Amino acid sequence: MNRAPGTPARTCGNVPGGVRPPVRRRVPRPFPDRYTSVAHDRIFTLFLAVAVVVLLARALARRLRTPDAILLVVLGVAAGFVPALPAVVVPPDVVLLGFLPPLLYHAAFFSAPRETRADAVPIVALAFGLTTVTTVAVAATVHALLPAVAWPVALAFGAAVSPTDPVAATAVLQRLGAPPRMVTILEGESLINDGAALTIFGLAVEAIGADFTVAHGAGRVVQIVLGGVAYGLVLGIVIRRVRRWITDPVSQIIVSLVTPYLAFVPADRFGASGVLATVVAGFSIGTHGEGFLQPASRLVGATFWRILTFLLESALFVLLGLEIRQIVRQPGGETWAKVAVVAVAVSAVVIGVRLLWELGNGPLARTVPGGRRSQTGLGWRQRLVIGLGGMRGAITLAIALSLPDTVGDERGTLVVLAALVVLVTLLGQAPVLPVLLRRLGLAEPARRRAEAMLARKAGLQAALARLDELAEDEDVDEQTAEAFRQMLELRLERVRYLLDRKDADRDRPAPNSRRVRTELVRAQRAKLRTLYRKGRIGAETYREIVRELDFEDPTAIKG
């Protein structure tokens, strides 16, 4: 502010020099710099650790021919003991609300509808019957070995360790060409048993420290199951109608990404099963997807979801490994010797009950309507593999971490037990599956390739027949028809050649064919780069043709 000439400056007696300094207003900061810096450093370090572990696990999995899930957990546990890495504690809600809905939706959307309906009896028996039996057996074991654990708490823990995680098992089965029916049963079981386990867990938690009647429990089961299924069906119908009018692939992806959360969160909020709602909605939309999704949307959507689920599953397994360091430091009020004994006992019960159920329920299942037909082709060899395919994963740890603090000192012990059961089943059962499949004669790597070739042959023959009809009706001129006929006949000739080869050679490409195709694609890429550098084509044209060549390149990564 300007003073008039001759006006003395304002002074302040207690300020050196007598002149009041200008007032500086301090702008409040939401977080102190040092705390913000520390938080950012922890997040960056954790993100970098997850990325390094995932990349290293992928590289080792290809060399060792081992499922990614096993190496992700092993390397995650090893990384968890690196002093420079921050402690990791993943809130259960992050797993149950952040990771679980899209993973369930993807599995349900891309499930095999005909095969799932055909195997409904064994899937439902495993998902509901085995989950309930495992819960009770584990609860009885824990209550007997740890008398301080009350029955409701023991049942909640039994529900936590009962759901399976099929990622490692199905990866082994698909890589070795096992009968697809076993994969369908394992995946179908895991879709439903999460909902069954969470239902039992919720009822057991309600019974902790409160009066709980059988009538109340039965009413809650009806509300949870029927409410989740009904809401999932309604949402599936609504989403199908909405997506029918969307032609933009990007918009289709956005709707598909929002759908699992629209299914899970409202159902869970209103007391129904979010898991069942998500599974039913995904299955309903997926079985009708070919009718309302455009080819471009299906192609882009499948690629997007394949990458998303890989990232979610990888991050989940790595975080599981990193978090185990924090969990094992707090064994509760029990000694490590006692915890180890109980962990071995619970793991034995989890594995043993599943094997006994799978090997012994065949005759019982035949008494159920439709059971005799559903059991055809499921001999003791297939049942043994399915029995050993029930590894536990991150969902078990997430449910165990959801145990309320009212449980008391036993909560820490039970969380540690859940983590140890996950490690024992994942690291103990998954490596046995490849050996077992080969010994039992269930590994048929050439079967899937031969099936695909037969399907391609039938499709090409149908295309040639349709082309002849179009030519006869004069809907296409003879020159165009001849060009397409030559292209289709060349493809058909190649398929016939591959089918005529010996069975032992069907899982390998034709001699030198891969190298020739690679060289042809490289020649086209080189010519494209030359045309672009000389200004003969623009950037958009260059990228468009490069994308087309990516689909033809035999070295491209197949999902």
CATH of domain 69-443: 1.20.1530.20
Q: What is the DSSP string of 304-331?
A: HHHHHHHHHHHHHHHHHHHHHHHHHT--
Residue 194 has pLDDT above 60, yes or no: yes
Amino acid 110: pLDDT:
83
Residue 30 has pLDDT above 50, yes or no: no
Question: Which of 178, 350, 190, 169 shows the shortest CA–CA distance to 278?
Answer: 190
The pTM (predicted TM-score) of the whole model is 0.74
Amino acid 328: pLDDT:
67
Amino acid 173: pLDDT:
79
Residue 220 has pLDDT above 70, yes or no: yes
- 11 pairs with which residues across the strands? 19
pLDDT tens by residue, 228-248: 999 999 999 999 989 888 888
Q: For CA atoms 403, 407, 412, 414, give the dihedral sign.
A: negative
Amino acid 159: pLDDT:
93
Kindly indicate the confidence band of residue 504, based on its pLDDT and cuts at 50, 70 and 90. Answer: very low
- Domain layout of the chain by residue ranges: 69-443, 445-508, 513-559
Q: Which residue has the higher pLDDT, 350 or 498?
A: 350
Q: How many helices (H) and strands (E) does the chain have?
A: 26, 0
Q: Which residue has the higher pLDDT, 260 or 95?
A: 260
% of residues, the chain, pLDDT over 90: 15
Greatest mean pLDDT among 88-92, 123-127, 136-140, 336-340: 136-140
Kindly indicate the confidence band of residue 511, based on its pLDDT and cuts at 50, 70 and 90. Answer: low
Residues contacting 136, CB < 8 A, separation 6+:
155, 158
Residue pair 111/188 in contact (Cβ under 8 Å)? The answer is yes
**Distance (Å) of CA 128 to CA 121, 192, 217, 255:** 11, 8, 16, 31
Kindly indicate the confidence band of residue 31, based on its pLDDT and cuts at 50, 70 and 90. Answer: very low
The CB density around residue 291, as the number of other CB atoms within 10 Å, is 8
Kindly indicate the confidence band of residue 254, based on its pLDDT and cuts at 50, 70 and 90. Answer: very high
pLDDT tens by residue, 374-394: 566 678 888 898 998 888 887
3-state SS of 6-41 is CCCCCECCCCCCCECCCCCCCCCCCCCHHHHHHHHH
Q: What is the DSSP letter of 125?
A: I
Amino acid 559: pLDDT:
44
Distance of CA 163 to the CA centre of its chain: 14
